[in-house]
């Protein structure tokens, strides 16, 4: 089997949604596990694992676009109120 590439990691993470974030995190972990610690592909994979961890506790992967004010009428019903870069707090 050939060594994984950054494109391989991105192909797994690209279509990620909150619903499947933890399954994809596991697949990326398996993909990069045999790589040495100083591998750029491993470092990229670890960054994407962190994104998937946040996404699993979020409602959107949206990393672009403006943010709505939390004071906006109806804020609590917005489906993307917890993007991956600012997920909801974890329940303990």
Domain ranges (residues) in the chain: 1-64+80-87
Q: What pLDDT score was predicted for residue 46?
A: 98
What gap in Å lies between CA 37 and CA 54, rounded to an integer? 22
Does 22 have pLDDT greater than 60? yes
Given a cut of 60, whether residue 48 has pLDDT beyond it is yes
Query: How many C-beta atoms lie closer than 10 Å to residue 67's C-beta?
Result: 11
pTM tops 0.75, yes or no: no
Q: pLDDT: is 53 or 91 the higher one? A: 53
Distance CA 19, CA 39 (A): 29
pLDDT(67) > 80:
no
State the pLDDT at residue 18: 84
Shortest CA distance to 26 belongs to which of 53, 65, 64?
53
Q: Is the dihedral of CA 42, 32, 41, 35 positive or negative?
A: positive
Q: Which has more confidence, 26 or 77?
A: 26
What pLDDT was estimated at residue 55? 85
Cα-flanking dihedrals φ and ψ of residue 34, to 5°?
A: -80, -5
């Amino acid at each position: 089997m050939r060594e994984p590439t950054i494109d391989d990691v991105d192909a797994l993470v690209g279509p990620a949604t909150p619903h499947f974030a933890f399954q994809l995190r596991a697949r990326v972990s398996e993909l990069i596990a045999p790589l040495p610690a100083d591998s750029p592909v491993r470092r990229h994979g670890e960054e994407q694992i962190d994104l998937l961890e946040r996404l699993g506790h979020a409602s959107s992967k949206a990393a672009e676009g403006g943010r709505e004010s939390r004071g906006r009428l109806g804020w609590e019903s917005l489906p993307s109120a917890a993007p991956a870069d600012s997920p909801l707090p974890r329940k303990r």
